[in-house]
Each structure stands twice: as C-alpha cells, then as structure tokens.
Amino acid sequence: MVKVTVIGSSSMDLVVTSGIRPGVGETVLGDSFKTVPGGKGANQAVAASRLGADVTMIGCVGEDQYGEVIISNLIQNGVCTDYVKAVTGVESGTAHIILAEQDNSIIVIKGANDYVTPTYVQQALKVIIDSDIVIVQQEIPEETVEYVCEVCEVNGVPLLLNPAPARSLKKEVVEKATYLTPNEHEVAILFMGASQSEMLQQYPNKLFITEGEKGVRYFNGKEEVLVATFPVQVIDTTGAGDTFNAAFAVALAEGKEYTQALKFANRAASLSVTKFGAQGGMPTRQEVEACLNK
Ligand code: RIB
C-alpha cells in the first residue's frame, strides 16, 4: 500500500442545481440544493484512499458543524485525520457551486483553509518525509505551497503540485515540484506568454496538462503524447480533476510508467463524473480495474 499525504483544503460544498445559469442581475428558479463534503484537498485524499492508498490529510476545518461532518467523512473514507485541526473562532471552508447547463461554476470561501500555514504543516514533517508521494493544491496559502515544495525537494519526496485554482507561481516553485498538473486555463496563467508546446518541451515527464474530455497531454522527451479519456454519461464534473490527480499520484507512487498511470487516472476521473457530488462518483480500486480490464 503506497503512502500518500495530501496537504490542502477541505470544505463543505453547497450545491444548487438549475436548468439555466443566471446571468448578471438575473434571478432564476433552481431545482435542488444539497450539502456535500468537498474541497480539493479532501477530495483528493478520499479519492486516493478509495483507490487503495494509505492516506494522511493535513488540513484545517472550523470549529463548527461543517467541520465535524468534513472530519467524519474523511474518517469514513479511511483517511487518517491526525493532522486535520479544528480552528477556534473560524468557519470551515465552503464552496458555493452552481450546477447548470452540464457544467459547474464555483466560488470558494477559504475560511479555516487559510490556517494551513507552514508552521502548522511543519508539525507533520515526519509524515511528509515518510510519504511515497505528496499532493498539494492552491486553496491554501501560497507560502504553504512554497514550503511544501521546499520540504519535499530537500527530503527527496516526490511532489505532485495541482495548481488549482489558478494563480501564478514563482519559477523556483515550479522547478521544485516533481509533477505539475494544470488544466488549459491554469497553464496559461502559470506560463504567461509561452505556448503550450514550448512549456511541455521545457518540462518533459513533469508537466501534464489536462484538456477536459480530450485527455491529458505531456512531452515524453521525444514527442507530445495525448492520453485520451473514456467517454461516459456525465452527471456532475465537480471533483473530476481531484479524482484524476489522486489516481495519477497513486499510480506514480506504485511505479506505473506515465502513459499507464495517465490511463488509470483518466479511467478513475471518467467514472467520477457519472454521479452527483465531488466525491459521490469517486471509484474504488476494483471499479477502476474492472473497467480497464473490459
Ligand atoms: O475540485 C472540486 C472542488 O473545488 C469542490 O469540491 C469545491 O470544494 C472546490 O473547492
């Protein structure tokens, strides 16, 4: 069982479904409202655990009801929460999601996720160093992402940096990460001015650009490779990227070569979009393997 440590956000997703997305200044009648656990970090932790990894989550929640639900959901999914702290006087992170016209729009209020500071993460240094791979995203403070990159590099721990949501990164942070997994929008912000092909060639076997339903593109040192996704009936795309990142990290930690790891991750992500909620469709290891073996 590979050891995966996820350093990142955990939130409650407040999801409204609607036939149409309201425009600016417009009011529409929606169809439903549901509250489900989410947050990119927690989603990735749950996905990796369902895929058979030994997962520790490092994060913060508020001392509120959402925080309790978030922690018990992680525990139910087999994630170690020894380093998920409830912060007094702060609200848990929330994500306000509109599901309409076959896609989502999300506003994240970070809340307690801003308390995932370098000093806090340092308390879990031993867990980080003992990991087969670490995953970090960008719903926590920028200095924490920088700290995680530094710690992983110094200790030779592979780090998958999922630069979502988009923000620019210092060049040294990009250099220190082992793997970078932006989508097309995020890669444009990361490497402003450069073409996608130039960037892929600059970072062979390191930069993996997710292109939605087309697949994932990387440069293997000789040529660009596009590893295709699997066509499915889409119910909810929320959490597909998180499932992809977790599955890719698990597969890499298990020693799969890049194309095979991407195929495994694409299969897991495609299954995740067939059910409602960020974590609702995240598959188990058996489900992914059964589909791959068909
Ligand atoms: O990646 C999907 C996640 O992004 C949602 O669960 C929501 O919490 C937002 O952070």
Smallest CA separation from ligand 1 atom 6, residue: 38
For 238-257, what is the mean pLDDT?
Answer: 98
Say how many Å lie between the CA of residue 99 and the centre of ligand 1. 12
Report how far residue 245's alpha carbon sits from residue 249's, in angstroms, rounded to the nearest whole number.
6
Render pLDDT for 196-211 as a digit per residue (tens, 0 to 9).
999 999 999 999 999 9
Question: Would the pLDDT of 108 be above 90?
Answer: yes
Domains of the chain by range and CATH? Answer: 3-20+32-292 (3.40.1190.20)
pLDDT class for 37, splitting at 50, 70, 90? very high
Of all residues in the chain, the percent with pLDDT exceeding 90 is: 95
Q: DSSP secondary-structure letter at 207?
A: B
222 C-alpha vs ligand 1 centroid, how far in Å?
35
Rounded Cα gap, residues 133 and 160, in angstroms? 7
Distance 53 CA to ligand 1 centre (A): 21
Task: Report which ligand 1 atom has the smallest distance to the Cα of 106.
Answer: 9
What is the Cα Rg of the chain in Å? 18
> Per-residue pLDDT tens for 270-291?
999 999 999 999 999 999 999 9
> Quick check: 89 and 115 in contact, CB under 8 A?
no
Pocket residue to mutate for ligand 1, from 10, 96, 99, 108, most atoms within 8 A of Cβ: 108
Q: Catalytic annotation on 114?
A: no
Please identify which residue in the block is written with the tokens 């040192």. 221
Nearest-angstrom CA–CA distance, 267 and 264: 5
> What confidence category does residue 187 fall into, taking pLDDT thresholds of 50, 70 and 90?
very high
Q: Cα(284)–Cα(276) distance, rounded to whole angstroms?
A: 16
What are 18's strand-pairing partners? Answer: 100
Nearest of 106, 104, 87 to residue 96 by alpha carbon: 106
Catalytic one among 13, 132, 236, 242?
A: 242
Mutate to test the pocket of ligand 1, among 6, 12, 13 (most ligand atoms within 8 A of CB): 13
pLDDT tens by residue, 50-101: 999 999 999 999 999 999 999 999 999 999 999 999 999 999 999 999 999 8
What separation in Å is there between the alpha carbon of 258 and the centre of ligand 1?
26
